[in-house]
């Protein structure tokens, strides 16, 4: 009986505590940097697309909401011909981000993407591609990968030896 009265008193004291609520539309909740929110395609420091169209994200996606088509530019860079994410199916698990070898696809701290029309939740490449490097500034896939594109031959990447001429190795 006494413990009941005590718990009533303690609950009553909560009247004078600070309230935990964020008054949402006026006052935004602080999101952590690793918040898994809106999915975006990021760019290199030099402005090129990071995505190389390897399909790993589409394969990793548990709800199959990513679809893309790889293409190759004349200079040798691979890029997605189209890249489509259906956000009405996406569960924001972040597997695509973990699967991406080039840090191209990233989940950003932003959740305000409600729509009145379901069709508007299908994001095309131009909706996804942002003019930013996202969470990994300074990273440039083609600068560290041993792939030849125009303006960078094999062996010119960072921390890379020039390719060995196999014919020169004759005894």
Residues at the interface with another protein (CB under 8 A): 4, 7-8, 10-12, 14-15, 17-21, 23
Task: Return the closest-CA partner of residue 119 out of 86, 90, 82, 92.
Answer: 86
Q: Closest CB to another protein among 10 and 164?
A: 10
Q: Closest CB to another protein among 30 and 138?
A: 30
The least CB distance from residue 114 to another protein, in Å, is: 17
CA distance 154 to 159: 12
The least CB distance from residue 29 to another protein, in Å, is: 14
Contact 96, 66 (CB under 8 A): yes
Record the tokens describing residue 58, joined without a space. Answer: 């589409």
The least CB distance from residue 9 to another protein, in Å, is: 9
Q: Closest CB to another protein among 19 and 167?
A: 19
Q: Closest CB to another protein among 21 and 131?
A: 21
Record the tokens describing residue 51, joined without a space. Answer: 């995505």
Neighbours of 166 (CB within 10 A): 7
């Amino acid at each position: 009986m006494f413990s009941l009265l005590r718990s009533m008193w303690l609950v009553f004291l909560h009247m004078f505590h600070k309230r935990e609520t964020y008054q949402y539309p006026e006052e935004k909740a602080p999101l952590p940097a690793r918040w898994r929110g809106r999915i975006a395609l990021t760019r290199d420091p030099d402005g090129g697309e990071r995505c190389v169209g390897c399909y790993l994200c589409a394969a990793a996606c548990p709800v199959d909401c990513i679809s893309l088509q790889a293409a190759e530019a004349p200079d040798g860079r691979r890029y997605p011909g189209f890249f489509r994410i259906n956000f009405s199916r996406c569960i924001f698990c972040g597997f695509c981000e973990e699967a991406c070898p080039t840090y191209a696809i990233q989940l950003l701290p932003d959740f305000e993407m409600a729509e009145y029309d379901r069709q508007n939740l299908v994001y095309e490449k131009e909706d996804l591609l942002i003019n930013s490097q996202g969470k990994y500034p300074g990273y440039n896939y083609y600068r560290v990968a041993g792939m030849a594109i125009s303006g960078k031959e094999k062996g010119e990447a960072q921390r890379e030896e020039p390719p060995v001429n196999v014919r020169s190795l004759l005894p």
